[in-house]
Structure formats: structure tokens, C-alpha cells
Amino acid sequence: MDVKIEESWKNRLSPEFEKAYFKALVKFIKNEYANYKIYPPGSKIFNAFIHCPFDRVKVVIVGQDPYHGPGQANGLCFSVNDGVRQPPSLENIFKEIQDDIGKPVPYSGNLERWATQGVLLLNATLTVRARQAGSHQGKGWELFTDKVLEVVSKEKENIVFILWGAYAQKKGVIIDSQRHFVLKSAHPSPFSANNGFFGNAHFSKANHYLEQAGLEPIDW
């Protein structure tokens, strides 16, 4: 099956595209786009991979679902398009960055600037029906994104994995914490940010680790 994904990822993930679960997923997704409003736009489903080729990955942030409101989702977890109001979780991420490293809150919530520096912004589920959170869970995306994490964990070294909330932490059990730096805390959602997300200093910790490994830090 010919899946339109960035070439360095395609080289590593192509066996997944021939598996029964992925073929069923493709059939389901095509039907969803044909009959419902689905986010992100079809051309943006694999945006995280386009902006962050395998060889450039230094940090992986694991999200859950794409945003399901109009014009929000752009294929990068926690990110929104330019000109779109920042969702509460993203606002809290920027607040923590400001408190942690002193960087002012940016005007735009588009995180492509992180992705192009080597931050893989990976949602567990890559598509969603408009205004129906979780509507594409359990259809096969999770198996695919588990494989993405497995490939990064096995083939690379000194990657920073950032896991916010119980869902991301459960998904991260396949990461080899002996080879990589795994950061965990509460989720930046307003419902949980005060339970350990604020003050986690993940952004400075990530950069310190990268510098210790001889890698360029991220300009958060």
C-alpha cells in the first residue's frame, strides 16, 4: 500500500502499511472523510512526519487526539494553525515555558517551528470527527503510533520523550528509558495542570539533556 508519508519514515514504517489493521484503518478513514467533517485536512494527517524527518528527531511529545474544532488541527499535537485562538492546554504549555526558561508567550500557537527543529509532535490518534473527541480511537491509529515510538526508541539514542498525563505515560511503556530521557508529569489541561504540570521544568530539562548529549537545544 502506497502511503503518502515522509520518505525516511516510510522506509521504516512501510511493513505496517501491509498489515491487516492498517488496511482496515485506511478503509475506515477514507469512508469518514467521504461522509463527515474530519480533522485535520487529509493532506495534514502525517504533518508531524513531514516537518520532522526521522534523522532529525531529538524530542518526542505524545498527545492523544487532534483538536476537533473548526480550523484548529494541523497534524501536530497541541498545535493550532496561525491565527487560531490557543486552546487552554496550549496556553498552559506556553505559561510553563515562560516560567521555566523566561520565553514570552508567542502570538501564534503553530508549533511547526518546534517540529522543524526536531520535535516530533505525535498524537496517538491522527484523525477525529468534528466536535466528537475520541471518535477515531480504537480504529488502528494507536497500533501505528505505538510502532512509531518503538522505531524511535530502538533505532535512535538520547531522545527526550515528553509524556504528559496518564494516557501518554501508558503509551510510553515501550520506550527504553536506559537509552533515552523520559519526562513525565500531569497533563497541561486546565483540569490537571495544577497537579504537577506547572513547575515541571520539562523544557529546560530537555534542553540540558540535549546539550549534555552534544546536541543543539530546542528554541521553545
Active-site residues: which are they? 65
- Furthest-apart CA pair in the chain: how many Å? 50
CA torsion angle 125 59 120 147 (round to 10): -50
- Using alpha carbons, list the distances in angstroms from residue 122 to 25, 53, 66, 75, 199: 18, 12, 10, 8, 23
Q: Whole-angstrom Cα distance, residue 200 to residue 217?
A: 18
With beta carbons less than 8 A apart as the criterion, state whether 53 and 8 touch.
yes
